[in-house]
Chain A
Amino acid sequence: MTLDLLHLMPTDLFRILPEVVLTITGVLIMLVDASLPPHVDRRNLGWLAALGTVFALLASQAQLALLQLAERTGFYGTVETSTFSIFFHVLICGIVLVTLLIALDTLPENGHHKGEFFALITFGAVGMCLLTSAVELLVVFIALEISSIATYVLAGYRKENGRGPEAAIKYFLLGSFATGFFLYGIAMVFGATGSTVISEIATRVHTGGHPGLILLALGLMLVGILFKVSAAPFHIWTPDVYEGAPSPVVALMSTAPKAAAFALLIRILYGAFPALQPIWTPLLWLVAVLSMTVGNLAALRQHNVKRMLAYSSIAHAGYLIAAFAGAGNTGITAACFYTAAYASMNVGAFAVVTLISGYEDELPLIKDFRGVLYRTPVLGGALIFFLISLIGIPFTGGFFGKFFSFTTAMGGGAVWLVLIGLLNSGLAAAYYLRLIVSIAQKPEGESPVPPVAQPIGVAVSAALMLAIAATLVLGIAPGEVLKNAAEGAYELMPHSMQMVNSLVFF
């Protein structure tokens, strides 16, 4: 299908077409939801949301046509279309699609406010997508808040269960707290440079100005973003929120908003403050080490599967941030690749956990997973596959994610960081293996039967297959994705392309 969208609509509109499509889908869902009689099941609205997300994904791909133009930004220099933004758009739309497919089959039948659930996911996706293409701090702030507010509500979606509101209020209060820091940082950077456009900030930081204010701004903004990616020491909210939120939502919020926040982190660090790299590299070094160690040590002590995966996601944020120690755009490339690899395996893991534990988390503990491989071999096998990828064993996306992250960090001279990372990977294998052993053990006579909906639904099977395919492709043939990530990185930092070439030997 070669539809010439470039000449069909104003260029500015084309630059935000995925967001427009998602917004229209969300509004449509809310309208239909409101006009349907109360007793009608809203499940089909989920298919509508999935359809909208597919169109948004196609629209992001079509945006490649925009790259022919000399002009990269639209709407008075606030939104940029580049390989980088398209990479993250496709990734986020993919995650949202998989999440919607999981939710379609696992949300309780005739559960109330089902329509709102799907609408909130699409609205959140609007914010996340916009965040990856925003190059002006006002748009960045608004996009961040669109995605955050939608996820706050989704986290507390299981209202009947007391844990839902508790998780949501914890997420909300700590999230807005971090937003306060982020906004204050923006005000400082505006004061120091007189601009809110990221590229202009970079030039003015480079030519000097108020170094104190700029450092303060960098610190405050980092607090805000590191909270969103749940890196230590800003990770406190993660385990409680993941435990209390419904598993399909956790599949989304542990991957898509994080991918968007990592894109923002890359934009802020390499786009706005490249001149301060000697200052933020050691800071991130520390954050990476803390995240890995704290995440893995805490995960070892967990008995609840979702809490364990929450701590593991903190550790994975650490592995990803280690890539920032790499020089120039190799670091960006490795970080982008890790985001994709982590997203595909984590979304898959939570899809299986949703099916095994049940929507209400009837079987949340590691020992409840005993014998899953014998009761439902497909699910047990799939979960073992995702856990193997999370450990980082070859032929899975997790392996290449870690491999690229650590090799770039090594290239940047951060030998100790890599050593600590490798030690941590070994440590992490312990708790993943504990769960794998539990899954593969012979079921005892009296052990509870997992409430797996038999047969497994069409939508969630499709979601699982997408996640498995993505994890496998990233683990066997990472070249294509890595090439796209490298192109995106190159567009952000045009110099030092040869270093990327040295990484792309696949």
Chain B
Amino acid sequence: MTPLSAYLLVAALLFAVGLAGALTRRNAVLVLIGIEMMLNAANLNLIAFWRFGAHPEQLTGFLFAIFSIAVAAAEAAVGLALVIALWRHTRSVNLDEQTRMKG
């Protein structure tokens, strides 16, 4: 059976990739994808810790992951709506070009 540390490593990598994407990308949609990857890395951790934990019959981590997926979906819906609203004004979703406010 795959050890717990392998799952944690994959999750950490996924988080790092998501973090790098969110920080370096300039396209709002790609930043959103990076953030979703960070959330999913956390979900993977929750599932792994739950499965390998002392009380897998309690379903804590499992339920947490399900709820967090639902929340992430709601967040993505709002995020994409905001991206569309942004597009309507600037015809661009490049975050570097959003500089109406400064100071």
Contact = CB atoms under 8 A, between A and B. Distances in A.
Interface string B87-100: 01110000100101
A156 B82 contact: yes
6 contacts: A152-B78, A169-B79, A176-B79, A191-B8, A194-B53, A196-B64
Contact of A190 (B49, B75, B85): B49
Contacts of B55: 194
A177 B49 contact: no
Interface stretch (A22-30, A141-149, A332-340): A141-149
Interface string A297-309: 0000111100100
Interface in B54-103: 54-55, 60-61, 63-64, 67-68, 71, 74-75, 78-79, 81-83, 85-86, 88-90, 95, 98, 100-101, 103
B37 to A, nearest CB: 9
Contacts of A163: 100-101
A169 B98 contact: yes
Contact of B98 (A166, A181, A302, A303): A166
A188 B15 CA distance: 13
Given A149-B74, A152-B82, A172-B78, A184 B100 contact: no
Given A142-B67, A173-B35, 12 more contacts: A141-B68, A142-B71, A166-B98, A169-B83, A181-B38, A183-B38, A184-B41, A187-B49, A188-B45, A191-B45, A191-B49, A196-B64
B54 A194 contact: yes
A399 to B, nearest CB: 29
Interface string A151-171: 011001001001111111110
Interface stretch (A237-245, A376-384, A387-395): A237-245
A225 interface: no
B17 interface: no
A196 B60 contact: yes
Given A145-B71, A184-B38, A244 B101 contact: yes
B85 A138 contact: no
Given A138-B63, A194-B55, A307 B28 contact: no
Contacts of B11: 187
Contact of A170 (B22, B83, B98): B98
A176 B89 CA distance: 23
A195 B60 contact: yes
Interface in B2-52: 8, 11, 15, 18-19, 22, 28, 31-32, 35, 38-39, 41-43, 45-46, 48-50
A186 interface: yes
B101 A187 contact: no
A450 interface: no
Contacts of A152: 78, 82
B22 A177 contact: yes
Contacts of B101: 163, 166-167, 239-240, 243-244, 307
A412 interface: no
A403 B84 CA distance: 47
A154 to B, nearest CB: 11
A301 B103 contact: yes
B57 to A, nearest CB: 12
Interface in A173-214: 173, 176-177, 179-181, 183-184, 186-188, 190-191, 194-196
B86 A186 contact: no
Contacts of B82: 152-153, 156, 165, 168-169, 172
B35 A165 contact: no
